[in-house]
Amino acid sequence: MYLSKLKIWNFRKFGSNSNDIENRPADFEIDFNSGLNVLVGANDAGKTAIIDAIKSVLDTHSGEWRYRITEDDFYGNSEKLKIECLFGGMTDNEAKNFIEWLNFDDEIRDGNGTQLRVFLISDKKGKFNKPHTIIKAGFDSEGYDMSYEAREYLKTVYLKPLRDVESEFVPRKNSRISQILMGDNAFKKELLKDNGKNHNLTKAFAEFNQVVEKYFRGEESEIVIDGGSPLNVDDKGGRIGKKIDERLENFFTKSDAKESKFTVTRETLKDLLENIELGFKEGKKHGLGSLNRLFIAAELLHLNKDDWTGIRLGLIEEIEAHLHPQAQLKVIESLQKDENKGVQLILTTHSPNLTSKVKLKNLILISKILGDNKYAAFPLTKERTRLKDENIKKLEKFLDVTKSNLFFANGIILVEGWAEELIIPELAKLIGYDLVEYGVSVINVAGINFEEYAKVFQTNYDTAIDIPVSILTDDDIHDDMGTEKKTHEEKKQEQESKNNKIKELEDQSVKVCVGENWTLEWVLYNSVFQEHFKKVIREVHSGTPKFQDDDGADFSEKLKEKLKNKSLDKTEIAYRFADLLRETNYCLEHGNCSSCIPIDNIKNDSNLKYIVDGIKYACGYLNDEEHEEQ
């Protein structure tokens, strides 16, 4: 069985201020895979709210992590909230635990056609003017109380963000290690039967306690050390016990005389487990990264218990905590393998490194809805997006760490190559749109293969993703582009066909901006940046005579020639030109000296228009008036 759907009314940012939670659609719904689910999205998109919503309905194996509804959880001015969990994919052996609350429907595609609905309703003005919360199950509006035994089968594993692993490993009363062990059948059945009195570890520890007691009484035990020497050969422990008893004799009257007794701990199995410490066999001090992996491995024991007929659901926030990039890859690859073991995981992450290795079908983007202020969940599957099988194969092959940050951006600019990736952020700063401040990512697709990346953000149903995506591409047509094999007209038609194909991607939140000039380098050369750009080219190609000549016609022809035969060092030029824009930032903005370029001249340059438009759109503005009002 697995958690197939979560519905939310008026919880945190998912709400509508309407207290009619029974007769209207949910404010937020999310469908989960039966295996791995990784929630991605910009900060404050609601990823943690989703995890807390699940925890508020279901218990956790570590009871202290179950979420309790507070007044701050109610959306806006609403006074009622509701959270509903739907479970599917049940085997008959699992379904028997919930027989009183199940719905039997042959149309349900999961498992044997059974479905379980568990829901929470909270009233802000409940008893004592505090939120009053009830949890019920069943498919009618009122629902029915669930038994304690049934709820035991719905416990989840939860790992909080920024885990204090060293503290969790400390032996103490109700330690995490003891809770994990007591939940396993190796101990659970014994604990339920006779509090573990007959468990092998309990018996062994009782014998050890007898050894300890005899040691402090000066009595020899059957235990030998150092190749056969009796444990109490020096009688040091016996002298300690004798001294304490002599003092006690003076503290008590003969009628209530007492004798001391040394023990390691009480002899119950629970006490024993609470004194167990988990570490590495090597024994040396380990860092938080290694300890975090050990902690995750121990916690996930709950999901791999033998003969368990309840849900195997793990909730992990920021799984990358304390893990370096290579460790993140090892962990996520391991967890993806659990998909075939009946284990369901719902994770949140802010790591592009981690998401670069997650299959697209396991990613769920949490974002605002286009044209609405509400949030929705967008699974990045071929069923829910416009991605085709061939698109998915390419993305999963080429979607590396630098490109995966698009899953966490507020806006995206897709560009053809390194030059655009280096120059556009600096150009954006000059016109007042710092891409870092706006949370906009520039993604280099290394060519004109924009289709895969654009379709990630285009859904095939009514609700669209409100993340502006700009596609910036050059026209690539110039006056003498004909070759021996193709005429100018043939090359022109070929380029126009490519441009039209890219323009077809413009839909929903995707905007295509095509330059009316040749490559980016030709655009910059013909723009208000001409002198600055010529300076950089002269530095990079100092051995080219015509670049050192002040004759504009010669410079132009030589630049065109190098662009055509691809001998221009575009990457080095881009690096240096970006540096120049960065270093002369004040002068370019200032507008009152002979060498500066006024901002309006940049914004109004027809050569740069497609770049400027793409920057504005990705930052969420279509015109400068809206931007200035902010």
Q: 146: domain CATH number?
A: 3.40.50.300
The reply to whether 254 and 317 lie within a common domain is no
SS3 track for 12-79: CCECCCCCCCCCCCCCEEEECCCCEEEEECCCCCCHHHHHHHHHHHCCECCHHHCCCCCHHHECCCCC
Q: How far is CA 581 from the centre of its chain?
A: 35
Taking phi first (over 0 means left), then psi (-120 to 50 degrees means alpha), and beta for anything else, what does residue 107 get?
alpha
The reply to whether 108 and 253 lie within a common domain is no
| Separation CA 367–CA 382 (nearest Å) | 18
Give the pairing type, strands 132-137 and 157-159: unpaired
Burial 108-143 (b: 16+ CB within 10 A, else e): bebbebbbbbbbbbbbbeeeeeebebebbbbbeeeb
Q: Which amino acid is at 88?
A: G
The reply to whether 310 and 258 lie within a common domain is no
What is the total count of domains within the chain? 3
Give the number of C-alpha atoms closer than 13 A to the C-alpha of residue 17, restricted to the C-beta side: 3
On whether residue 375 sits in a domain, the answer given is: no
The reply to whether 8 and 99 lie within a common domain is yes
The reply to whether 263 and 289 lie within a common domain is no
Best CA proximity match to 477, nearest among 498, 450, 501: 498
The reply to whether 252 and 291 lie within a common domain is no
| Separation CA 164–CA 508 (nearest Å) | 43
On whether residue 447 sits in a domain, the answer given is: yes
Residue 166's alpha-carbon distances to 86, 285, 349, in angstroms, are 36, 11, 22
On whether residue 175 sits in a domain, the answer given is: no
CB 169 within 8 A of CB 291: yes
| Separation CA 75–CA 14 (nearest Å) | 7
Tell me which of 217, 234, 267 is where a domain ends: 267
Q: What is the mean pLDDT, run by run of 10 residues, along the chain of 630 residues? A: 96 92 94 94 93 93 76 93 94 91 67 83 84 92 90 90 73 80 78 79 83 83 61 72 87 84 79 82 76 84 83 91 86 82 91 91 94 92 92 89 90 94 94 94 91 92 93 76 66 75 89 88 92 90 79 80 88 93 64 65 91 96 59
| Separation CA 423–CA 472 (nearest Å) | 13
Q: End-to-end CA distance of the chain: give it in Å, rounded.
A: 49
The reply to whether 346 and 410 lie within a common domain is no
Tell me which of 237, 267, 297 is where a domain ends: 267
The reply to whether 462 and 575 lie within a common domain is yes
Strand partners, 368: 375
The reply to whether 66 and 159 lie within a common domain is yes
DSSP state of 445: -
Q: What are phi and psi of 537, to 5 degrees?
A: -60, -40
On whether residue 369 sits in a domain, the answer given is: no
Tell me which of 331, 364, 397 is where a domain ends: 364
DSSP state of 129: G
| Separation CA 533–CA 521 (nearest Å) | 9
Give the number of C-alpha atoms closer than 13 A to the C-alpha of residue 553, restricted to the C-beta side: 0
> pTM for the full model?
0.85
On whether residue 36 sits in a domain, the answer given is: yes
The reply to whether 358 and 391 lie within a common domain is no
The reply to whether 348 and 311 lie within a common domain is yes
Alpha-carbon dihedral angle through residues 32, 34, 35, 40, given to the nearest 10 degrees: 0
On whether residue 540 sits in a domain, the answer given is: yes
Q: Which residues contact 531 (CB under 8 A, 6 or more apart)?
A: none
The reply to whether 537 and 587 lie within a common domain is yes
Q: Is 82 exposed, middle or buried (0-12, 13-18, 19+ CB in 10 A)?
A: middle
The whole-number pLDDT of residue 263 equals 83
On whether residue 402 sits in a domain, the answer given is: yes
Burial 501-510 (b: 16+ CB within 10 A, else e): ebeebeebbb
On whether residue 496 sits in a domain, the answer given is: yes
Residue with structure tokens 């052996």?
A: 93
Q: How far is CA 372 from the centre of its chain?
A: 24
Alpha-carbon dihedral angle through residues 370, 415, 37, 352, given to the nearest 10 degrees: -120
Taking phi first (over 0 means left), then psi (-120 to 50 degrees means alpha), and beta for anything else, what does residue 412 get?
beta
Best CA proximity match to 373, nearest among 15, 614, 18: 15
Six-digit token string for 178: 């003891």
| Separation CA 111–CA 572 (nearest Å) | 58
Name the residue range of residue 234's domain.
Answer: 198-267
